[in-house]
Every structure is written in structure tokens, then in C-alpha cells.
């Protein structure tokens, strides 16, 4: 494909920006796409920011500069992935209304309609992730987990619950295991019988030799 391009690379954390993680992959993707084509790379812009919030463009001075240069030079804005621009429907709508041509390497044939649909799906997924996170935090709080407090306190409570559950499970299977031991079965044979009978291990899965030995230690 012939034409003039301005590349825009973005990562969403300062850590990624310092390490180069993500940026090198984006550059490589753009270079591979333009390989064997007649093209002119006018300039490359790199941005490191969160991209969160309704004012995403205000937080991206490099993107604003890239768009301005695209208009001035009648160039196409080129990104490695569509989500490097935004996952916000209104933001992408505004970008399209700016009349700047843009292209995503991962979706070179997308049109304005598909961009709207993909952005809407991405935005919905982001909202669902946020909702699930809030629900998980609320559930943890309801269980007595102190959110925002020192990790050792919460860790001790979690460990205490696990310890109590493991002891209770050991007591439940004690009679079964002792019955098998009375038949002078080896531990591996007991494991096989427990799995054959469908008796669940402490974590709900299959029994293993190490699992049985931990339960026996608890019963002692």
C-alpha cells in the first residue's frame, strides 16, 4: 500500500514504558505490515499513559500531536492494534469525525461501522470486568476480609479458614481410611480405592499419595 504514515505507539503503564514491553512488539508489527510496500514514514510518536476516563485524548499529548501532523501532511495514522487508540466508543467516534485517516495493523480492513461495533464490545467487556471486580470486593468484605488493611491480617484469616476446613475434611474421611488401613492396604492402594469410590480429596479433586499423607498427618 502506497502512502504517507505516522505511527503511534502506546503502552498503558509507566513500568511498560520504562521496560519497553509492548512498544517493541508494536514497532515490529508496524514494520512487518509496511514491509515490501511503497510508503513513507513521516514520524513516530510514543505515549505512556493510562488512557482511562472520558477525556482520553486530553491525556495523550503525543496522540494530539500525531493527529495534527496527519492533518497537516495528509498522512494516515498507523497503529499496531486498534485498542492502542482507545476502547471508548465516544473517543473513536470523535477520532473518525476529525477526518484523519487511521489504520490498525491487526484489522487493516475495518470500516467505520466495524470500528464502532468493536469499540462498543471492548467498552462493554471493560465495564463487565469492573463490575465483577466490585462484586468480588464486596463479597470479600462480607466474609470479613478487611479491605485495604495490612496483608498479613487477611492472609492469617484465609490460612485459618483453610486449616479449619482441612481438619474437618480429615475427620470426615477418617473412618473410611482407617477401614482400608485395617485391611493392611498400602498407601498407594488406599489412594486408588478412594478415587475408585469417588471420595473427594480435600480440595475437591483426585487423591494423590501426598494428599493422603497430609490427611494422615492431620489425623495423628
pLDDT digit string, tens, across residues 31-78:
888 886 678 889 999 988 755 555 666 778 898 899 999 999 999 999
Architecture, CATH, for domain 3-125: 3-Layer(aba) Sandwich (3.40)
pLDDT digit string, tens, across residues 163-211:
777 777 777 778 788 778 877 889 999 888 888 777 878 877 788 898 8
Could you tell me which residues are beta bridge partners of residue 78? 7, 103
Query: What's the predicted TM-score (pTM) here?
Result: 0.51
Going by pLDDT thresholds of 50, 70 and 90, the confidence category of residue 7 is: very high
Amino acid at each position: 500500500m502506497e502512502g504517507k504514515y505516522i505511527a503511534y505507539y502506546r503502552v498503558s503503564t509507566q513500568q511498560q514504558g520504562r521496560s519497553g514491553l509492548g512498544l517493541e512488539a508494536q514497532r515490529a508489527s508496524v514494520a512487518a505490515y509496511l514491509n515490501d510496500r511503497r510508503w513513507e514514514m513521516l514520524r513516530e510518536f510514543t505515549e505512556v499513559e493510562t488512557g482511562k476516563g472520558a477525556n482520553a485524548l486530553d491525556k495523550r499529548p503525543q496522540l494530539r500531536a500525531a493527529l495534527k501532523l496527519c492533518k497537516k501532511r495528509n498522512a494516515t495514522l498507523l497503529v499496531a492494534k486498534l485498542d492502542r487508540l482507545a476502547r471508548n466508543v465516544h473517543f473513536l467516534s470523535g477520532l473518525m469525525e476529525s477526518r484523519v485517516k487511521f489504520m490498525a495493523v491487526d484489522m487493516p480492513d475495518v470500516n467505520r461501522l466495524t470500528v464502532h461495533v468493536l469499540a462498543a464490545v471492548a467498552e462493554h467487556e471493560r465495564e463487565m470486568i469492573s463490575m465483577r471486580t466490585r462484586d468480588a470486593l464486596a463479597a470479600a468484605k462480607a466474609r470479613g476480609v478487611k479491605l485495604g488493611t495490612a496483608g498479613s491480617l487477611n492472609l492469617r484469616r484465609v490460612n485459618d479458614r483453610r486449616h479449619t476446613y482441612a481438619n474437618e475434611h480429615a475427620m470426615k474421611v477418617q473412618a473410611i481410611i482407617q477401614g482400608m488401613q485395617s485391611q493392611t492396604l498400602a498407601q498407594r492402594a488406599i489412594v486408588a480405592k478412594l478415587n475408585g469410590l469417588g471420595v473427594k480429596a480435600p480440595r475437591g479433586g483426585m487423591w494423590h499419595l501426598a494428599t493422603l499423607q497430609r490427611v494422615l498427618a492431620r489425623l495423628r
